[in-house]
Amino acid sequence: MAALGACSASTAPPVVPVVASDYAFSAPDTVAAGLTAFSLENRGAQQHEMHIGLLRPGFAPSQIVEAARRGTGFRLLSEVYLEGAMHGALFAWPRTTSPARLTVELVRGRSYILLCTFRDSTAAPQHAALGMFHFLQVR
């Protein structure tokens, strides 16, 4: 009889490390389809989050920036460029790595967005409007 620990270790999904800075994400441009875990390290001086969601086909970076400039919150993005709701989010305060991981079943041939909607103050723009988003293509 196999030990439970050995069984779950052998099926652990690959981890895609995402690094946040002020104000950008560093992450692969292309990832493999299937169950994938994301981690978030924040090397910046500001608090950051990483939402992940499924993009509807055909959206350009300029349209992401425009939605962020208008202050569109993540709950309304399915009316703009997301297919359905955001799948989830990780949070990391400055110079920390989230102890959590976000696991998503990535669909082959689709694109996803990593996005930060935080603001440094109520009058400041969303971090996404400053360029803090990243497209992931799934092969």
Q: Which is nearer to Cu ion, 132 or 138 (CB)?
A: 132
Smallest separation (angstroms) from Cu ion to the CB of 116: 3
Judged by CB under 5 A, the number of residues near Cu ion is: 5
- What is the spatial distance between Cα 29 and Cα 32, in angstroms, rounded to a whole number? 11
Q: Which is nearer to Cu ion, 82 or 116 (CB)?
A: 116
For the chain, the residue count is 139
Residue 134 touches Cu ion, criterion: CB under 5 A:
no
CA proximity to 119, closest of 53, 65, 48: 48
x-or-dash pattern for Cu ion, window 112-131, by CB under 5 A? Answer: ----x-x--------x----
Those residues whose C-beta lies under 8 Å from the C-beta of residue 137, and which sit 6 or more positions away, are 29, 30, 31, 111
Q: Which is nearer to Cu ion, 48 or 134 (CB)?
A: 48
Q: Which is nearer to Cu ion, 68 or 132 (CB)?
A: 132
- Which residues on neighbouring strands pair with residue 20, listed in sequence order? 25, 42
Smallest separation (angstroms) from Cu ion to the CB of 107: 26
> Taking the CB of residue 26, how many other CB atoms lie within 10 A of it?
12
Which residues are at the interface with Cu ion (CB under 5 A)?
48, 116, 118, 127, 132
